[in-house]
Amino acid sequence: MKKIIVAIIAAAMMLSLLAVPVMAEEVINVASYTEVFTPVNESDGQLAVTVKGTAGADGYMYVIAAAKGMEPVSVAGENLSGTELEAYKNGSESYFRIAVADPAAEATVEATFNVPGFYAVSRAADTNGAEDYSLSYKFTNYLPSKIGKYSVMVYVPEGMEIAKVSSPSKYADYKLAELDGMRGAGNEKALAAAAANTLTFTFDKAAGAVSNILIWVLCLGIGVLVFFDRYKKAMKE
């Protein structure tokens, strides 16, 4: 009998050691998770995060610290208790969290962060003589539940334009946008727990109005020459 009891205790201890300290029921439902990056200057950015969902047993809503060096600036929303984000670590993963007023009701977190060095990216290979820069951002869902709709949009500094989107590679899977004269690229998808989303693109200096006019005139001139050449051939025939 003593051997059986010892075996049961040993098994229980092993199970407790194997148990990963995850937020098992801290977030039951995340309906949507949106990230929007905008440039502050040539190297630093600002991140706006909006999370909608229902808090779990601990009564908190969570924002994943996905961008390196994220520094909270402000937080607002609906059904929240408090006005500040609390830094929180779970194992090796980092989060920011805030308590909700009514855990049974849906809550919305609208937070802004400074992201130093986000736009300090490396120069990529030249394309048509342009100075291209490559930017890649990876978001991993470290919450214990599925994100119903995750979306990200990264705007580049004014005067720049999106040259090519590498990931997602299919045109139908990403979208381009414009905000206050800034061009942006992004995508959206559902993310299971532990699933990741990667957005990779290159950007360079916009051609400008004068360059666009010159290109248009050149193309028009070539078209006229082709037309007259075909006309002459038709007349001879």
Structure tokens that stand for 236 in this block: 């001879």
User: Is the per-residue pLDDT at 11 higher than 90?
Assistant: no
**pTM for the structure as a whole:** 0.77
Cβ proximity of 56 and 27 under 8 Å: yes
Higher per-residue pLDDT: 219 or 97: 97
Q: Tell me the C-alpha to C-alpha distance, in Å, between residue 151 and each of 20, 171, 173, 206.
A: 28, 16, 12, 26
pLDDT of residue 237: 54
Model confidence at 233: pLDDT above 90: no
pLDDT in tens, 133-143: 999 999 999 99
* pLDDT tens digits along 145-164: 999 999 999 999 999 999 99
Please report the pLDDT score of residue 28 as a whole number: 59
Share of the chain above pLDDT 90, in %: 67
Three-class SS string for the chain? CHHHHHHHHHHHHHHHHHCCCCCCCCEEEEEEEEEEEEECCCCCEEEEEEEEEEECCCCEEEEECCCCCCEEEEEEEECEEEEEEEEEEECCEEEEEEEECCCCCCEEEEEEEEECCCCCCCECCCECCECCEEEEEEEECCCCCCEEEEEEEEECCCCEEEEEEEECCCHHHCEEEEECCEEEEEEEEEECCCCEEEEEEEEEECCCHHHHHHHHHHHHHHHHHHHHHHHHHHHHC
Task: Give yes or no for residue 45 having a pLDDT over 80.
Answer: yes
Lowest pLDDT segment from 28-32, 69-73, 111-115, 130-134: 130-134
Q: Would you state the pLDDT for residue 162?
A: 96
Chain-wide mean pLDDT for the chain? 84
Quick: pLDDT tens for 12-42. Answer: 544 443 433 445 445 459 999 999 999 999 9
Q: What's the rounded Cα separation, in Å, for the pair 61 and 99?
A: 6
pLDDT tens per residue, range 177-219: 999 999 999 999 999 999 999 999 999 988 754 444 444 444 4
Pair 162, 201: CB distance under 8 Å: yes
Which of 97-111, 130-144, 195-209, 222-236 has maximum average pLDDT? 97-111
